[in-house]
Structure 1
């Protein structure tokens, strides 16, 4: 059973903009899948559709075989968004406990899981500090910890290391790898091409709401006769621009 299956996914906004058009994508269970494309390519719309944050115009979303808008499917997805959107009135601990409660955890279970996440992400010294008083890196850690609180089977990471320093990026990479090794399916969007190549088993290129190609990093380099993933990206997006 695929972790994520999109069939004929189309999203047309009220102003007439078509962000996705008859988009098909299947991500296997247990995959570490990268999604690359420029701003406006449709990545955020795709993520929003999977997470039930927008109403799709047409098509189908299935998460581990379940309709994407079902409560069960929604409980299987964890999202760490690119933009920091933490509640400014909640402490680190409260943020995690409340999130666990939203997904049906008992208070005791949520508190135990929150303590585990605080320890894993090295936030123990900040457990009772409100979000606005955290550093940028600490906010990024908390956002990821929150996404993982309810033990999702599919984790969507939207630019998870945007704006963090190199040391924290490596630290987050280590944890994300460990998460994947434990069987979690991961969908990663990133503008850091070396990040996609370092972490992902397979990479898809998207532009203009359409899928241009998908393969391993080596397969993409061979397909586009390129020496690096950066060269693949430039060639693929350049070809699409010319075609348009």
Structure 2
């Protein structure tokens, strides 16, 4: 995109980052991100997701290209209050307790003391740390320390929220509460970018999908467009008792992509396929206890793209 021609809130203009050894972390990325969007950043390990987020928030300077927010370049001089950033590894102040870690983030953004106190208590309650607010952070579990970092990213009501694997180490309820809050922030006009391997979770909340592979964009489109490629498929989940022999597994592999895990199989089947076709294969060997048939979600669509690109194998 030509400089200053992009009308979106964030304009990434042919951005690359080349390391000292000559390897590119990301390469020639151009993308426009609008206010009010929750974007799921997905890709295999090593795809360049964390590098892209570090460049996007100004922690790393791109080797080529520029990033604009409201037509101003984002770099290391970007005001702290504009970006709420939670990185994949912990970045907290170990000499402060839980409350002071978050309160310090609020004050650093320019928030007045009274407002900072109120906002600190609000986000600590959101992430489930209010009862632990006086505890030293080095006395917390890894998941609790992750919550402190997330609270620091959320406390100052930033215009851009960038979270790298925020649900790692979080329980299911806290993860859902967090994504609900991020969805609300996006509805209020904030740009929210979430990198996550928990595709089933972000599926329910995201507007757009940005898929990276080897530092390059494979696709960037609405979730509906991403999923529409696979409208002719369904996901069949079967729970069973017993053990599937190799002969049954081979027969399943011949007719559908499937994953077996802890006496449960998930199969991606053609929409017109009869469930009885699958049951006849496994019925002689196991007892079926539950069957569920769903439309494909973000996880299944991603796996399909990944298989097309040679990133995953069956099994």
TM-score if structure 2 supplies the norm length?
A: 0.70
The residue matched to 2:309 in structure 1 has which SS? helix
How big is the alpha-carbon RMSD for the aligned residues of Structure 1 and Structure 2? 2.2
Correspondence for 2:302: 233
> Which of 192, 202, 220 does residue 196 from structure 1 map onto?
202
Counterpart-to-counterpart distance in 1, 2:45 and 2:299: 16
Q: Does 1:145 align with 2:214?
A: no
Offset from partner CA, 1:38-73 (integer Å, 9 cap, x none): 111111111111122112100011123221027455
Please, which moves more after superposition, 77-86 or 104-113?
104-113
Please identify, of 193-202 and 4-13, the stretch whose mean Cα deviation from structure 2 is larger: 193-202
The 8 Å contact of residues 136 and 164 in structure 1, kept in 2 or not, is answered as: no
Which residue of 2 is the match for residue 38 of structure 1? 44
Contact kept? 1:67, 1:73, Cα under 8 Å: no
1:49-198, aligned counterparts within 5 Å? 49-69=55-75, 71-72=77-78, 74-198=80-204
1:193-220 Cα shifts (integer Å, max 9, x gaps): 2123111011121101111112233322
Q: Is the 8 A contact 2:164 2:195 kept in 1?
A: yes
Name the structure where strand makes up a greater proportion of residues: 2
Residue 47 of structure 2 aligns to a residue whose secondary structure is: coil
Which runs of no fewer than 5 residues in structure 2 stay unpaired? 1-6, 235-295
1:149-172: per-residue Cα shift (whole Å, max 9, x none)? 221011012111112222222222
Structure 1 counterpart SS, 2:157: coil
Question: Higher mean Cα deviation, 26-35 or 168-177?
Answer: 168-177
Larger relative CO (CA 8 A, sep 6+): 1 or 2? 1
Farther off after superposition, 113-122 or 79-88: 113-122
Q: Which has the larger radius of gyration?
A: 2
Structure 1: 5+ residue stretches without partners: none
Return the structure number with greater helix share.
Answer: 1
2:227 to 216, 221, 230: 221
